[in-house]
A and B are shown apart, each in its own frame.
Chain A
Amino acid sequence: GDSVTQMEGPVTLSEEAFLTINCTYTATGYPSLFWYVQYPGEGLQLLLKATKADDKGSNKGFEATYRKETTSFHLEKGSVQVSDSAVYFCALRDSSYKLIFGSGTRLLVRP
């Protein structure tokens, strides 16, 4: 079945460092891909999405490009801030209704 694999955390960075969180997927069809973020004590929020190959989703300085050839959707940010500390979830949605999530990656940004 469809699945999402994320790099294990926690990822610890200093402020203004470059961030990459790896995400790869397995799907039989052509899914839409999402990144969700969960800040401490809050619910999940949609961060960005891409619906077809080579699309780039972006929001709040974060970017991710839908790479069909490598079945990947890595999350990147050029300069992280302390306020970016959160848990990040990669997810896919195929032709059905269900969002399938990765296990989440905790990011800790130190001042």
Chain B
Amino acid sequence: GAGVSQSPSNKVTEKGKDVELRCDPISGHTALYWYRQRLGQGLEFLIYFQGNSAPDKSGLPSDRFSAERTGESVSTLTIQRTQQEDSAVYLCASSLAGGARDYGYTFGSGTRLTVV
């Protein structure tokens, strides 16, 4: 597609429920990233995909968080047993190449998750 697409744009869920957040990167972008942005704070790295593999999952805050990517395209971030501290905007970004220093990312508009 023309840009990075994320869905849903907003999600309100009850504490303890599972949620799935979807990211559709720019066609041909092999690198995909998930970040979290809590209210009034900076961006917190969660996970990086190169193709369908995730060489860096170091930012996932707990084992309730997982992510997968299929077909070198769509990625899904899953949060199990959501907690109120999971409330944030979850941003997805993609890039032409994961290791190129001068490539920035293209970000999606994010999914605003509210856990009540």
Return the CB mask of B25-45 against A: 1 if under 8 Å, else 0: 000000101010000011101
Q: Contact: B42 with A49, CB < 8 Å?
A: no
- How many residues of B are in contact with the other chain, CB < 8 A? 26
Whether B99 sits at the interface, judged by CB under 8 Å, is yes
Min C-beta distance of B95 to chain A, whole Å? 8
On chain A, the residues within 8 Å of B87 by CB distance are: none
Interface segment, one of B11-19, B68-76, B77-85, B102-110: B102-110
On chain B, the residues within 8 Å of A101 by CB distance are: 35, 42-43
Given A32-B102, A43-B4, A46-B106, 9 new contacts (CB under 8 A): A51-B102, A95-B99, A98-B33, A98-B45, A98-B48, A98-B56, A101-B35, A101-B43, A103-B41
What is the interface residue range for chain A against chain B? 20 to 34
Q: Contact: B42 with A89, CB < 8 Å?
A: yes
CB neighbors of B among A18-49 (8 A): 31-32, 34, 36, 42-46, 49
Name the CB-closest residue of A to B49. A97
Name the CB-closest residue of A to B106. A46
Q: Contact: A95 with B101, CB < 8 Å?
A: yes
On chain B, the residues within 8 Å of A45 by CB distance are: 107
Q: Contact: A100 with B99, CB < 8 Å?
A: no
